[in-house]
Amino acid sequence: MRLEGKTAVITGAARGLGRACATRFAEEGASLLLLDVGRDLDGVPYALGSDSQLRHTADLCRRHGVPVVTMTADVRSGTACEEAVAQALDRFGSVQVLVNNAGIAAPSGKAIHDITEDEWQLMIDIDLSGAWRMMRAVAPTMVARREGSIINVSSTAGLVGYRHFAGYVAAKHGLVGLTKAAALDYAPHRVRVNAVCPGSVRDDAVVEGRMLAEIARSLDVSVDEHEEIFVQAQPTNRLIEPEDVAGAAVWLAGDDSRQVTGTAVTVDGGFVAR
User: 8 pairs with which residues across the strands?
Assistant: 32, 97
Annotated catalytic residue: which of 46, 162, 168, 186? 168
Strand-strand pairing, 31-36 and 68-72? parallel
DSSP state of 15: S
Q: What distance in Å separates the CA atoms of residue 209 and residue 52, rounded to the nearest whole number?
A: 15
Provide φ and ψ at 201, rounded to 5°.
-95, 130
Element of type H or E holding 111: none
Q: What distance in Å separates the CA atoms of residue 73 and residue 42, rounded to the nearest whole number?
A: 16
Element of type H or E holding 117: helix 117-127
> Is the Cβ–Cβ distance between 186 and 123 less than 8 Å?
no
How would you class 94 by CB atoms within 10 Å of its CB: exposed for 0-12, middle for 13-18, buried for 19 or more? middle
168 is known as an active-site residue: yes
> Is the Cβ–Cβ distance between 151 and 195 less than 8 Å?
yes
Strand-strand pairing, 7-10 and 31-36? parallel
Catalytic residues: 168
